[in-house]
Chain A
Amino acid sequence: MTEPHLLVDMQDITVSFGVVKALKGVSFDLRPGEVHALLGQNGAGKSTLIKVLSGVNERDGGSVLIHGRQTNFRSAQDSRDSGIAMVYQDLSLVPSMSVAANLFLGREPHGPLSFVRSKPLVEAAQAYLDEQGFPIRASAGVASLPFAYRQLTEIAKALMGDIKILVLDEPTSALSAGEEEILFNTVQEVTSRGVGVIYVTHRLQEVFRISDRVTVLRDGLNVGTHNTADITMEKLVSEIVGPGHERMAQATLSIDEGDRRMVISDEFAAAATRRTPVIELKGVQNGRLRGVDLQVRPGEILGLAGMIGSGRTEILETMFGLRQADQGEVLYLGKPVTWRSPRDAITAGVALVPEDRHLEGLVLGDTIAANTALPQLPHLTRAGMFNKGEATRRAKGAVGDLNVKAPGINTRLKNLSGGNQQKVVFGKWLVPEPKLLLLDEPTVGVDVGARDEIYGIIRRFAQKGCAVVVVSSDLVELELLCDTVTVVHDGRATTSVHISEVEGEERLHHLVQESAR
């Protein structure tokens, strides 16, 4: 079975985190000079597999052969020593230093007394870049480079030394169309010298553009490995999504409010179209947004699909007063508004559940009661004093309503699981009821049980007449929750579909992929 010339040969890899099996026997190999794309939804096991290869995660079972030799990495350094280089989404360059200084960081060629002379450093770096075919000037400061060139610098840095295996984790997520070409050219240049590239991505277009083979993972298992030339996009999408939509069925069953579709798509939706939109964007431009038109009506759940970096998050930030519209208009309840800060938006009745709950949503060292009180402090003040009784009452109400599993409202957030932390973020916005609820990736890092509960919470907001906007990379989630899904691409709201027109998640996948074309 084992081909002698394989760069990487992983067989039957299993990895567990506690009781959760992240990988249930995955096999993957890489040949010299090929680009092997790795696909799958969030949680399918892509990152776990990559982390086994990079020595971050330890496997429970299976074998890893690198250059035909059995290996057992204990650290990222082990992996690097075996000729494997990782390029992650978040860059590891020092922006204030030059490209050359970054390339040789920590291993600068130096003269007597360890003095580094900058001229030989730049010359050595430039020679290396030219030889490897990177279109970068070694003397340039990293901070002054466009993002794509920073990424190339990162790749150049990763490839220094005797590297035969390069892992790229969603390398184009922050790049514009023109910048992608630069990256693809470099990948071709690198593979022509016999380096094997593992290419993790969500963008199917890119798979067909640059890969030789493609492997799809789902729920910690191999679904298939194909020569890219022999497979169609339809086939790949159906492999990524999987048959049956069990998760959807399961989540739908768990909703006790009755058949959502009947309620919403018939009477509710008909009534909703006659009401004034809670929020409306008209040709809004700022930073990444290049003319967004959107509206959300009371009781409606609008999903924003699209790639990372498409402007989805920026739309939410604009609706929450974190960004102002340079051009165009924001209408709230039919009136134009200019919110200078979240405080203005919150006062008007807008709530945000941000993408990163640790960074933006919660004060982790503080208690549940302290966190749920934060956005409502103006309502919890009597003569300057904090109305602790009322805050306690509200916190208890939130813990009960949202089924937060915690010993009490004085439990510190850092002692709660991800799902319960996320419920507390929702708990910040229960009283008074918001008119517009903005959700950015509401179930990332949340376990399955809590996820269904969160879906229930979101629907209850909508049923009370709150307008909801959900940004999510999980298309099943959008299909489950939303009445309408709008695809965002390159700072614009492109296609918009009513959920009743979408037969299954695959159709959404196609819409997102097509918009990126």
Chain B
Amino acid sequence: MSTVALDTSASTPVSKRHAVRELLGGDKPYGIFIALIALVIFFSLKSDVFLSSANFANIGRQTTLVTIMAVGMTFVIISAEIDLSVASILKLSGVSAALFMSEFANNWVLGALVGLTVGALLGLANGLLVTKLGIPSFLVTLGMLGIAKGLAFVVTDTAPVLVDNTTFWAVFYEGSIAGIPVPILWSIMALVLGGLLLHFSTFGRKVYATGGNSTAASYSGINTARIKICCFVLTGVLAAMASLIFAAQGHASRPDFADGLELDVIAAVILGGTSLFGGRGTIVGTLIGSLIIGVLNNGLVLIGVSSSWQIAVKGLIIILAVALSKRK
């Protein structure tokens, strides 16, 4: 056979349309950044107070909880799982910290540690149930949503638990360094550490591979179950971190707070370009996604849209974002 060895192997050149699509929906979240700018311009035109440094500091503070939890959620979703229980983990770890400080020792470090430990344990439970029993994370975390929320009501007898510790207030909400309020610094810290972990550590590479193709990852010697468990623990810890900030803000932990917050968190991550099917996503994208959620929450109030409508609008945005990402 005199068949010349055909070179069918040169890779397909990246077409122009493809390039545009990569730009809008690819790993680099330019499209979503443009959407954020558009929203800012829209609200600036509609409301006089929107475009002010005071309001922007407001947005930053209000977005803190969502941003911090969205960092953890980014890991979970890239590993091709989901965590619906973040808002309930926030409730239970928050009230645990507050109860510890009011009942046992009014020490802000120990209180914070108790909260973070509870968050980590709840995340660990999620991760073990998903990987060891093979239950889909959607169901495990849906169950955990109920369990943690119910327990938060049980241990507090449905009443808010006061936090009477000025250092705690200062460290997690009221203080500021170089004019920047601490809640914003905490979220910057979560973003930077999360970004380092996801994009520059070996662990991050394993998370992408686990979500991208878990069989190929385990054939490459990666313990995919352990990676997924770590992602759930990280999300639990960050939800607990958010609960401390909330407790410092209100000088109390409330079991009735944060209902439905998982919607904002998941929306922020998906808007940021993270694929619900796993294997793709960035921390920068998640930051922009949570800023969009923050700007929407703030702007819709300023132009007089009712909070009921806001919830519906955010649900719509999640579906739109996923629909757009599926069209590739």
Q: Do A and B bind each other?
A: yes
- Let me know if B220 and A342 touch, CB within 8 A: yes
Given contacts A384-B201, A385-B201, A449-B5, contact A411 B220 (CB under 8 A): no
Instruction: Evaluate contact between B219 and A388: CB separation under 8 angstroms.
Output: no
Question: Nearest CB to that of A380 among chain B residues?
Answer: B202
Q: A247-B1, A365-B279, A380-B202 are in contact. Are A420 and B212 (CB under 8 A)?
A: no
Q: How far is the CA of A343 from the CA of B227 in the complex (A)?
A: 14
Given contacts A343-B223, A452-B5, contact A359 B216 (CB under 8 A): yes
B contact residues around A19 at 8 Å (CB) = 6, 8
How far does the alpha carbon of A377 sit from the alpha carbon of B216 in the complex, in Å? 14
Partner of B12, one of A361, A365, A415, A452: A415
Interface residues of B in 1-21 (CB under 8 A from A): 1, 3, 5-12, 14
Q: Is A354 interfacial (CB 8 A cutoff)? A: yes
The reply on B176 being an interface residue by CB < 8 A is: no
Number of B residues whose C-beta is below 8 Å from A? Answer: 34
Q: Is the CB of A384 within 8 A of B203?
A: yes
Does B280 count as interface, using CB distance less than 8 angstroms?
yes
Q: Does B217 count as interface, using CB distance less than 8 angstroms?
A: yes
- B71-123, CB < 8 A from A: none
A363 → B minimal CB distance (Å): 4
A370 touches B11 (CB 8 A): no
Render A371-409 as a binary contact track against B, CB cut-off 8 A, 1 for contact: 001110110110011101000000000000000011100
A447 B222 Cβ-Cβ under 8 A: no
Task: Report B-chain residues with C-beta under 8 Å of the C-beta of A407.
Answer: 11
- Specify which chain B residues have a CB less than 8 angstroms from the CB of A378 in the assembled complex: 202
Contact present for A362 and B11 (CB under 8 Å): no
B11 touches A415 (CB 8 A): yes
State which of B8, B14, B220 has its C-beta within 8 Å of the C-beta of A417.
Answer: B8
B202 touching A360 by the CB < 8 A rule? no
Report Cα–Cα, A352/B216, bound state, in Å. Answer: 11
- Range for the number of chain A residues in contact with chain B: 35 or more
On whether the beta carbons of A449 and B209 are closer than 8 Å, the reply is no
Q: B158: CB under 8 A from chain A? A: no
* Contact of B280 with A365 in the complex, beta carbons under 8 Å: yes
Question: Judging by beta carbons under 8 Å apart, are A363 and B6 in contact?
Answer: no
- How far is it, in angstroms, between the C-alpha of A405 and the C-alpha of B5 when the chains are bound? 14
Chain B residues near A374 (CB-CB < 8 A): 205, 209, 216-217, 220-222
Inter-chain contact B6/A449, CB cutoff 8 Å:
yes
Q: Is the CB of A377 within 8 A of B200?
A: no
Given contacts A360-B215, A449-B7, A449-B9, contact A377 B222 (CB under 8 A): yes
Pick from B7, B209, B218: contact of A405, CB below 8 A.
B7
Query: A residues within 8 A CB of B232?
Result: none
Residue in B10, B203, B221, B279 whose CB lies within 8 Å of A363: B279
Q: Complex Cα distance A417/B10, Å?
A: 7
B208 interface residue (CB < 8 Å to A): yes
State the CA gap A320–B220 with chains docked (Å).
Answer: 10
- Nearest-neighbour CB distance to chain A for B58, whole angstroms, equals 36
Residue A386 contacts which of B5, B200, B220 (CB distance < 8 angstroms)?
B200
Whether a CB of chain B sits under 8 angstroms from the CB of A81 is: no
* B213 in contact (CB, < 8 A): yes
With both beta carbons as reference points, the residue of chain B lying nearest to A346 in the complex is identified as: B221
A sample of 16 more A-B contacts (CB under 8 A), given A20-B6, A342-B220, is A345-B221, A346-B221, A359-B216, A363-B212, A374-B209, A374-B220, A377-B222, A381-B201, A381-B202, A388-B200, A407-B11, A417-B9, A419-B9, A447-B5, A449-B5, A450-B9
Residues of B within 8 A of A (CB): 1, 3, 5-12, 14, 196, 200-206, 208-209, 212-213, 215-223, 279-280
Binding site for B on A (CB under 8 A): 18-20, 219, 246-247, 250, 320, 322, 341-343, 345-347, 352, 354, 359-366, 370, 373-375, 377-378, 380-381, 384-386, 388, 405-407, 411, 415-417, 419-420, 428, 447-450, 452
